[in-house]
Structure 1
Amino acid sequence: MEAVVEQPALTDYEIERGKPMPSKNHSRIQARLSKELLVFYEDQYDVRSEQSLASPNPPLVPDLSIFPAEASNWQQDEVKESEVPLTVIEIVSPSQSDTELTAKAQDYFSAGTKSYWLVQPLFRTVVILQPNAEELVFHNNLLTDPTNGISIDLKKVFR
């Protein structure tokens, strides 16, 4: 008789967002990427953390999403953003696979996203995927996304 391995119950966070709870390294990288993006690009882009998106369908919640800059309206808020982000950034958590996250990229591309960053903390690497283009791989150097002109020093992100 085979032993049955019980999987831990999903948390509300994991169920709502459709992804695992972030780890310490995940959190560090998300904060550092946000900082770098905001310091150098806040006049051009809105950088949002854990923004629920109405599209693609089913709705997804990327770790970070980049939109064209817009004026803030603190009197009105949206739970799900109806616009499609220019760029989506996903940070691989220990319980996720590259294959799982790469499959999500196609959903974003179908909705109109121009680039998808797959951040791999273990290897201090970022892979940029684009619709109908070869992937770009960056490791511990200057990342440049040709779809939006963003450049980030990965030595600062993975310090």
Structure 2
Amino acid sequence: MEAVVEQPALTDYEIERGKPMPSFNHGLLEARIIFEVMYHYRDTFDIVSEVTLQNPNPPTVPDLSIFPLQASNWTKDEIKVARVPLTVVEILSPSQSVTELIEKSLTYFSAGVKSYWLVQPMLRVVFVLLPGDEELVFHNNTLTDPTNNISIDLKKVFR
């Protein structure tokens, strides 16, 4: 007879966003990726964390979304963003599977996202997935995304 392992109850955060609660390393990687992109590309892109994207359907909340730079409108805010980002960044949490996130990438591609960065913290690897089953793998070097020409130094991100 197999032992039954009870899964902990999902938190409100996990239910609302449809993904695991982020950890310290997860938050640290988000901050470092945001810093690297904004440091080098602040006049070209906006990078936003934890925003609900209205498209794809159903709405999703990626860890990071990279949009073309647009003038900020501080008097009007969006709870669900209608624009499709150029790039979505997802950081693998310990309770997620790579398969789950790769399947999620297909949803983003069908909505018009041009690239999907799958960050694997424990191995310090970033997979840049592109539509059409193409992927690029970056470890301990410079990540270069051919869809938006963003290049960031992964040695700084994973230091």
Q: TM-score, normalised on structure 2?
A: 0.97
Residue 60 of structure 2 aligns with which residue?
Answer: 60
The alpha carbon displacement at 1:7 in A equals: 1.4
Q: Which amino acid aligns with 1:48?
A: V
Runs of 4+ in 1 over 6 A off after TM superposition: none
Residue 41 of structure 1 aligns with which residue?
Answer: 41
Residue 97 of structure 2 aligns with which residue?
Answer: 97
Residue 88 of structure 1 aligns with which residue?
Answer: 88
The alpha carbon displacement at 1:3 in A equals: 4.0
The alpha carbon displacement at 1:4 in A equals: 3.3
Q: Which amino acid aligns with 1:144?
A: T
Gaps of 5+ in 2: none
Question: Percent identical across equivalent pairs?
Answer: 69
Q: TM-score, normalised on structure 1?
A: 0.97
- Please state if 1:29 is matched with 2:32: no
CA shift digits 1:81-138 (9 cap, x unpaired):
0011100000000111110000000000000000000000000000000001521000
Matching of residues 100-119 of structure 1 within 5 Å? 100-119=100-119
Residue 152 of structure 1 aligns with which residue?
Answer: 152
In 1, Cα distance between the equivalents of 2:108 and 2:72? 24
Gaps of 5+ in 1: none
Residue 7 of structure 1 aligns with which residue?
Answer: 7
How many residues of Structure 1 are paired with residues of Structure 2 in the alignment? Answer: 159
SS at match of 1:78: coil
In 1, Cα distance between the equivalents of 2:73 and 2:47? 15
